[in-house]
Amino acid sequence: MQIPQSESPLQRVESRMRQLVGAGQGQAGDIAAEHLGAGGGRVRAKLALAASQALGLPQDAAVAVAAACELLHNASLVHDDLQDRDALRRGRMAVWQEHGDAAAICVGDLLLSAAYASLAACGYATPALLLRVHERVGAVIRGQSSDLSLRGRSDTSLARYEEVAAGKSGPLLSLPVELALLLADEGDHLTSAVVAGERFAVGYQMTDDLDDVQRDALNEELNVVAVLAARGERAPLQVARELALGHFREARIAALTLPRGAGQLLADYARQRSDALQLLREPA
């Protein structure tokens, strides 16, 4: 199946994802396509496309990287919903809730495999990209495993909480920029991209925790407010907001150090999140 060149880059990403999970994949492919069709912000695809454009990469390579990163993210969502028993995703029943646990495992695996297949279009650079993807997926798995092991424990240190939060989603946030940097022979800047992704991830998780204090308490899930309260903070909500703002600020600084504006969109996302959080600040 050829992807029409008349489509926008983001539309080409959507077409590539559907192509890779579609033909010949049976029920798992149908469910995967249904899951992808439910929408989502496509943040990782946009990060990859923006970084690739800034670095002057060919559009075919940019689309391949963007599709790979989105497929990885969606694979993690399907598996996370299964592990967390979250019944809804994007306003619809989660894959496991609608189709069963076994189907959810197969769908997540298919999305993961399709991500690697997407990178096959990157020519000579493919081996380096595949190795980087493996390393970053491994980091996500370690973060998720740590998160699961800490459930029900509010006595976790703040440092440990931040380590887990960074590991759960940071790698897949920075990976789009990391892969673009590798393709542009700018691998010396990978560390800054990793820092930007991790700081953004921690800030995002803290912001999410602020909205889910009661729900997380009922489900015995790790939450920064509970962690801060357990260590004696008298205003844990306010402290959590300030910490999140600091992480978004650090993410923006790190992203803006990347060459040729490759991290500009990530910096913009950090600023937007920070601005929104500022509006929710509790009065002194």
Average pLDDT over residues 149-175: 93
Q: What is the dihedral of CA 246, 76, 147, 227, to 10 degrees?
A: 30
Phi, psi of 223, rounded to the nearest 5 degrees: -145, 135
Q: b/e string for 214-253 if b means 16 or more Cβ within 10 A?
A: eebeeeebbbbbbbbbeeeeeebbebbbebbbebbebbbb
Strand-pairing partners, residue 93, are 88
**pLDDT (tens digit per residue) in 87-131:** 999 999 999 999 999 999 999 999 999 999 999 989 999 999 999
pLDDT digits (tens, 9 = 90+) for 199-218: 999 999 999 999 999 988 88
Domain spanning 9-278 has what CATH number?
Answer: 1.10.600.10
Q: Is the pLDDT of residue 59 over 90?
A: yes
Side chain identity, residue 144:
Q
% of the chain with per-residue pLDDT over 70: 97
Q: 212-258, pLDDT tens digit by residue?
A: 999 888 888 899 999 999 999 999 999 999 999 999 999 999 999 99
Encode pLDDT of 125-153 as tens digits: 999 999 999 999 999 999 999 999 998 78
Greatest distance between any 2 Cα atoms in the chain: 60
Q: Are 136 and 76 in contact (CB under 8 A)?
A: no
Residues 6+ apart with CB under 8 A from 205: 165, 168, 169, 224
Which sequence spans correspond to the domains of the chain? Answer: 9-278
